């Protein structure tokens, strides 16, 4: 893969996020049909898929360095974005092992891991990290193990303990979320943290999703795509900072929608961790403005129809009500009602 990283970019005002043509073409466009409703859209997370972003265990793209810098800044402003409960220590080391093995295997030019028994040596070239440590001995790392590694990866991560036939969100680092909070959800069960979501509970999706995850096997990760929309290329749309980004939703017009409104896609991957039996939930966020979506014929037509016909309960939950009509207005110019086929 092309491993050139952008040196400039800003995920807060003044915003600056540019996507190369290659980055646009690897965007995981989430709609297989012209309409959208929640579903059990879980598939094996194998190193294959329609776009390149799906083909590695953890996707690293041109925004890697700037995104890790933004994460570090959020953590310095609000250290409680990373919390791991004490009984999750084994899961922290499981995470280190999974992340270091996968990154060094998938990107040998960027990351290198050598292991001599418990003595490990980790090199992260893009972030200039060269760390010797003893696996299992937290005192040999500059941060707690989970935090050390999650700081070096794009996206959010939560650790779920499995007890009493349920999953409990007992740790995580969450800095690029779509309006939910780790502090608030910490210690909750699968159905408790999903309580704000409309419709999906009644449709049986959370019953089936939980049953499926309780049986997830080590070495057989799964993935699903989720989506929402965000004004400006802002990663940190957290409830904690709602006063900063919430009002941006009121300034969208028919004219500026193409630049301000971004389709926000989450590539969610789920892994059983071997020692702790915990589940790692990873959320990789991709942001693309409507003007870039409009470069791809099928995407601009499909997004127009999805947004135009979106269930009002989903529109309200995703926070789109203040500007959805402007996005639909912009995209409508591309749609002359031609028939499209399923799949992308
Ligand atoms: C939303 C976490 C697995 C379906 C959410 C939210 C969180 C979350 C924090 C936001 C809730 C809010 O508004 O406060 C997780 C974690 C999972 C997991 C940690 C695994 C351990 C799943 C699975 C499914 C699912 C397996 C479906 C099969 C959904 C749906 C939404 C949602 C449909 C609403 C998303 C939207 O409309 O933007 N999840 N989830 N989740 N989750 Fe999950």
In this structure, the residue with its CA closest to atom 26 of ligand 1 is: 209
Q: What region does 63 belong to: left with phi over 0, alpha with psi -120 to 50, or beta?
A: alpha
Using a 6 Å cutoff on CB, does residue 160 contact ligand 1? yes
CA dist 292 and 296 (Å) reads 8
CA dist 179 and 226 (Å) reads 13
CA dist 269 and 284 (Å) reads 8
Does the interface predicted TM-score (ipTM) exceed 0.85? yes
In this structure, the residue with its CA closest to atom 19 of ligand 1 is: 281
Interval 179-207: pLDDT, tens: 999 999 999 999 999 999 999 999 999 99
CA dist 93 and 138 (Å) reads 9
Q: Which two tokens stand for residue 277?
A: 């039996």
Beta strands in 182-311 (DSSP E): 222-231, 261-272, 279-289
Q: Say if residue 2's pLDDT is above 60.
A: no
2 exposure class (CB count in 10 Å sphere: 0-12, 13-18, 19+): exposed
Res 224: pLDDT: 98
DSSP assignment string, 257-272: HHHHEEEEEEEEEEEE
In this structure, the residue with its CA closest to atom 42 of ligand 1 is: 194
Q: Say if residue 63's pLDDT is above 90.
A: yes
Q: Say if residue 152's pLDDT is above 80.
A: yes
DSSP assignment string, 316-336: HHTT-TTTHHHHHHHHHTT--
Using a 6 Å cutoff on CB, does residue 196 contact ligand 1? yes
CA dist 81 and 78 (Å) reads 6
Q: Which two tokens stand for residue 338?
A: 């031609």
Other C-beta atoms within 10 Å of 174: how many?
A: 26
Ranges of H-type helices in the chain = 21-25, 64-77, 89-106, 145-150, 182-185, 190-193, 205-214, 242-245, 257-260, 290-293, 297-308, 312-317, 324-332
Res 339: pLDDT: 78
Res 3: pLDDT: 65
């Amino acid at each position: 893969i092309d491993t050139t990283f952008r040196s400039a970019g800003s995920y807060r005002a003044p915003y600056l996020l540019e996507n190369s043509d290659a980055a646009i073409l690897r965007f995981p466009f989430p709609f297989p049909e012209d309409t959208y409703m929640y579903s059990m859209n879980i598939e094996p997370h194998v190193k294959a898929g329609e776009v390149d972003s799906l083909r590695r265990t953890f996707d690293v793209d041109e925004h890697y360095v700037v995104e890790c810098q933004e994460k570090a800044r959020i953590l310095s402003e609000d250290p409680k974005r990373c919390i791991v409960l004490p009984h999750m220590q084994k899961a922290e080391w499981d995470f280190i092992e999974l992340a270091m093995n996968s990154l060094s295997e998938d990107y040998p030019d960027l990351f290198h891991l050598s292991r001599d028994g418990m003595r490990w040596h980790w090199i992260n070239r893009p972030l200039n990290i060269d760390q010797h440590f003893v696996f299992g001995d937290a005192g040999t790392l500059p941060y707690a193990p989970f935090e050390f590694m999650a700081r070096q990866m794009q996206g959010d991560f939560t650790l779920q303990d499995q007890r009493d036939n349920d999953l409990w969100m007992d740790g995580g680092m969450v800095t690029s979320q779509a309006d939910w909070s780790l502090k608030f959800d910490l210690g909750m069960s699968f159905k408790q943290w999903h309580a704000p979501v409309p419709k999906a509970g009644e449709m049986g999706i959370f019953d089936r999703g939980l049953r499926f995850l309780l049986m997830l096997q080590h070495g057989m990760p799964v993935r699903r795509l989720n989506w929402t929309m965000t004004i400006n290329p802002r990663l940190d749309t957290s409830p904690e900072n709602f006063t900063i980004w919430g009002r941006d939703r009121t300034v969208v017009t028919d004219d500026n929608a193409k630049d301000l409104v971004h389709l926000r896609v989450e590539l969610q991957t789920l892994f059983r961790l071997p020692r702790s039996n915990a589940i790692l939930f990873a959320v990789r966020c991709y942001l693309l403005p409507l003007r870039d979506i409009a470069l791809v014929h099928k995407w601009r037509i499909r997004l127009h129809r999805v947004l135009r016909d979106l269930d009002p309960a989903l529109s309200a939950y995703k926070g789109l009500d203040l500007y959805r009509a402007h996005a639909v207005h912009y995209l409508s110019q591309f749609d002359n009602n031609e028939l499209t086929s399923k799949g992308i």
